[in-house]
Amino acid sequence: EPEVTQTPSHQVTQMGQEVILRCVPISNHLYFYWYRQILGQKVEFLVSFYNNEISEKSEIFDDQFSVERPDGSNFTLKIRSTKLEDSAMYFCASRDYQISYEQYFGPGTRLTVT
Amino acid sequence: ILNVEQSPQSLHVQEGDSTNFTCSFPSSNFYALHWYRWETAKSPEALFVMTLNGDEKKKGRISATLNTKEGYSYLYIKGSQPEDSATYLCALTGTASKLTFGTGTRLQVTL
């Protein structure tokens, strides 16, 4: 069964460093998302991406964040200058826009900023 | 801002017990209600997507109901097994396609 994959599973970085989180969505899906969960809090929406552009973003998704679909298969989230409060589990999801509302999630990348 | 609430926050039951959780949400701007099952270190697994008031869905021992007029959904597990131990997440699709999540209900089933 097709699945969403994410790499790495765990990333440790120092404050101020750039990180890139990678996702491979399900191949025929058209809509892509990033969510995150800070420990003890709700899963929260960051950004959605459709037709090679951002379709919606949350207040969290400021100028330090960017997304890209560089090669038609990968979907990346870049944080330019990480802060301690960026430490969280980051989830990628994808959706077959034509069929249903259902979003399929990857296993997440745990980002730890020290 | 959509506010999705789940209760209880955590639940500890014995094998064989039946249990249920609640998800409540604002009934305006409703498009779909999702239930996910999430085990640590795994992908959240989609259980159900429901869109119509009165919807009832079932997958094995797990079922869910939806009331969009009063803004709630119930998830039922019949005859809980240790492998049902997980966090159960409720999420709402509103006018945008993003998901707005509740806090989750953490279920632990012991022998």
pLDDT at B42: 92
pLDDT at B27: 82
- How many angstroms away from the CA of A8 is the closest CA of chain B? 12
Question: Across residues B47-55, what is the average pLDDT?
Answer: 93
Q: How far apart are CA B63 and CA B59, in angstroms?
A: 6
Question: Across residues A80-96, what is the average pLDDT?
Answer: 96
Residue given tokens 């709630």 in the structure block = B72
pLDDT at A99: 65
For B56-75, how does the pLDDT look when each residue is reduced to its tens digit (9 = 90+)?
999 999 999 999 999 999 99
Give B6's contacts in chain A (Cβ within 8 Å). Answer: none
Cβ pair A48:B97 closer than 8 A? yes
Q: State how far the alpha carbon of A66 is from the alpha carbons of A37, A69, B60, in Å.
A: 18, 11, 41
For A10, nearest residue in chain B (alpha carbons): B41
Cβ pair B34:A56 closer than 8 A? no
Of the two residues B41 and B35, the one the predictor is more confident about is B35
Q: How far apart are CA A52 and CA A60, in angstroms?
A: 21
pLDDT at A31: 92
For A42, nearest residue in chain B (alpha carbons): B103
For B3-29, how does the pLDDT look when each residue is reduced to its tens digit (9 = 90+)?
899 999 999 999 999 999 999 998 887
DSSP A55: E
pLDDT at B77: 98
Which residues, in sequence order, are CB contacts of A100 under 8 Å at separation 6+? Answer: B49
Picking from B98, B101, B106 by the largest number of A CB atoms within 10 A of its own CB, the best residue to mutate is B98
At B46, the pLDDT band (50, 70, 90 cuts) reads very high
For B99, nearest residue in chain A (alpha carbons): A45
φ and ψ at A99, to 5 degrees?
-105, -50
Q: Does A34 touch chain B (CB under 8 A)?
A: no
Summary mean pLDDT of chain A: 94
pLDDT at A6: 97
Q: Please check the confidence at residue A13 and state whether its pLDDT lies above 90.
A: yes
Summary mean pLDDT of chain B: 93
